[in-house]
């Protein structure tokens, strides 16, 4: 059991579960390394009544190792005097506002457990909607009526309103966990979320042919002098059903040529494996490997991946006369081809890396045509038998 130091904390590699480092000199002083690489200082102690406590001191990077150790020493001194630092932190609830709670939510929850893209979205919802409208309200004064009015006033932005309610709900659940609100207050329970009309666009076979033609011609026109990896990225999005972030950060080391699959160590849904066709392997073989660059879709900066496809995609879709098509629609189109070919929803979900069945259910209506054909085939066979 070593002494916790800055060098030790930064040297510990994340694992599939929390890594706990206990200090050899200061009893109860702990550093927890989460699977996402966050390093959190904590203090374990027992109160004079024998209750176990393990409050967080702070996140490494926000505070130094020495600062965390000093705080732990001060807290242990308070414990020796019969005090309970954890409860004293909770007593701050008398003046904690929604804005205060939002700050703690981002630092102690979102920064540790959520993906960067989700954190960016949460910050936008908080900055532009939640804090301007509810930020000054003390969390113990917040009522269900406050939240209902907030949701109603955002009715013209139904999707954003629903997302804001989800963030508020999680913040309030954490407030209960942290002892800042009474348990089971459930202020968001009776909020009826607005129906969201999700935009679904599936490219037809003719549209895919138009897009493919433009991609081929663009590859020729580039002549290897501009950014052919952008063309390769769009082609891979169409052929694999992967998310944009997955393709842009794809490394050569993730590709298993022998078993026709890509092993992503991390994604929106965590670690996952997707299977790819031999044709995808041919496309990959046609991409130039950059020296000292592990990424398939290389960028203009040596050793880095391409950051953004926006400009390239806008140019390509204009040439293909598909200006209403978003780049994420390529993923939908991959799935729609599978559904129209008779693949089951579980199989399509597995190919896309979905973790929830309802996520794949959007493609259910596309399975109708193969089912009709199958029913007709059986009907003709039965007709020949019974008639």
- With a CB cutoff of 8 Å and minimum separation 6, the contacts of 236 are 242, 247, 250, 280, 283, 284, 296, 297
Based on the number of CB atoms within 10 Å of its own CB, is 193 exposed (0-12), middle (13-18) or buried (19 or more)?
A: middle
User: Is residue 275 a contact partner of residue 351, using CB atoms and an 8 Å limit?
Assistant: yes
* Helix or strand run (H / E) with residue 256: strand 255-256
Alpha helices, DSSP H only, in 298-328?
310-319
Q: How far apart are the first and last CA of the chain?
A: 83
Question: Which of 87-91, 195-199, 246-250: highest mean pLDDT?
Answer: 246-250
CB neighbour list of residue 131: distance below 8 Å, 6 or more residues apart: 98, 99, 102
Residues 284-312: what's their mean pLDDT? 87
DSSP lists the bridge partners of residue 251 as 295
Answer whether 274's CB lies under 8 Å from 351's CB: yes
- Alpha-carbon span 261 to 277, nearest angstrom: 8
Q: In the chain, what's the furthest Cα-to-Cα distance?
A: 94
The reported pLDDT for the residue numbered 276 is 81
What pLDDT, in 10s, does the model give residues 322-371? 888 888 888 877 777 776 666 666 666 666 666 565 555 565 555 555 54
Residue 76 has pLDDT above 60, yes or no: yes
Architecture of domain 98-177: Orthogonal Bundle (1.10)
Task: Name, in order, each residue with C-beta under 8 angstroms of 261's C-beta and a sequence gap of 6 or more.
Answer: 273, 274, 275, 276
Question: What pLDDT shows up at residue 358?
Answer: 59
* DSSP track, 154-191: TGGGHHHHHHHHHHHHHHHHHHHHTTSS-TT--TTTT-
Judge whether residue 156 has pLDDT over 60.
Answer: yes
For the chain, domain boundaries: 6-91, 98-177, 205-327
Q: Which pLDDT belongs to residue 71? A: 92
pTM: 0.52
pLDDT tens readout for residues 304-326:
888 888 888 888 888 888 888 88
Sequence-ordered list of residues with C-beta below 8 angstroms from that of 144, at least 6 positions apart, any chain: 187, 188, 190, 191
Identify which of 168, 100, 172, 99 has the alpha carbon closest to the alpha carbon of residue 135. 99
- In CATH, the architecture of 6-91 is 2-Layer Sandwich (3.30)
Task: Look at residues 103, 352, 327 and name the one whose alpha carbon lies nearest to residue 230.
Answer: 327
């Amino acid at each position: 059991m070593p002494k916790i130091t800055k060098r030790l904390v930064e040297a510990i590699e994340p694992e599939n579960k929390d890594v706990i480092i206990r200090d050899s000199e200061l009893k109860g002083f702990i550093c927890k390394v989460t699977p996402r690489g966050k390093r959190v200082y904590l203090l374990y102690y027992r109160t004079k009544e024998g209750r176990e406590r393990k409050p967080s001191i702070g996140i490494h990077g926000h505070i130094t190792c020495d600062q965390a150790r000093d705080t732990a020493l001060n807290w242990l001194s308070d414990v020796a005097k019969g005090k309970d630092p954890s409860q004293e932190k909770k007593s701050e609830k008398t003046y904690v506002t929604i804005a205060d709670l939002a700050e703690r939510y981002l630092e102690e929850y979102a920064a540790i457990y959520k993906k960067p893209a989700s954190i960016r979205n949460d910050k936008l919802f908080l900055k532009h909607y939640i804090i301007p409208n509810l930020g000054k309200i003390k969390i113990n004064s917040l009522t269900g009526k406050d939240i209902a009015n907030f949701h109603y006033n955002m009715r013209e932005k139904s999707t954003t309103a629903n997302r804001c309610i989800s963030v508020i709900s999680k913040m309030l659940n954490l407030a209960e966990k942290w002892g800042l609100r009474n348990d089971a207050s459930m202020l968001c329970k009776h909020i009826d979320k607005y129906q969201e009309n999700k935009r679904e666009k599936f490219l037809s076979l003719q549209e895919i042919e138009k897009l493919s033609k433009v991609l081929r011609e663009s590859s020729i026109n580039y002549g290897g002098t501009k950014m052919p990896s952008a063309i390769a990225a769009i082609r891979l999005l169409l052929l694999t059903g992967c998310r944009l972030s997955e393709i842009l950060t794809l490394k050569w080391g993730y590709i298993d040529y022998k078993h026709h699959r890509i092993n992503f160590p991390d994604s929106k849904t965590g670690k996952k494996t997707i299977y790819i066709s031999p044709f995808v392997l041919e496309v990959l073989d046609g991409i130039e490997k950059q020296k000292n660059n592990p990424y398939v879709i290389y960028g203009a900066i040596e050793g880095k991946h391409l950051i953004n496809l926006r400009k390239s995609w806008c140019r390509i879709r204009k040439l293909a006369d598909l200006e209403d098509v978003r780049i994420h629609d390529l993923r939908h189109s991959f799935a729609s081809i599978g559904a129209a070919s008779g693949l089951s929803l579980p199989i399509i979900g597995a190919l896309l890396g979905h973790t929830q069945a309802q996520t794949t259910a959007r493609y259910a209506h596309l399975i109708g045509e193969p089912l009709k054909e199958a029913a007709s085939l059986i009907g003709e066979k039965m007709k020949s038998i019974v008639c």
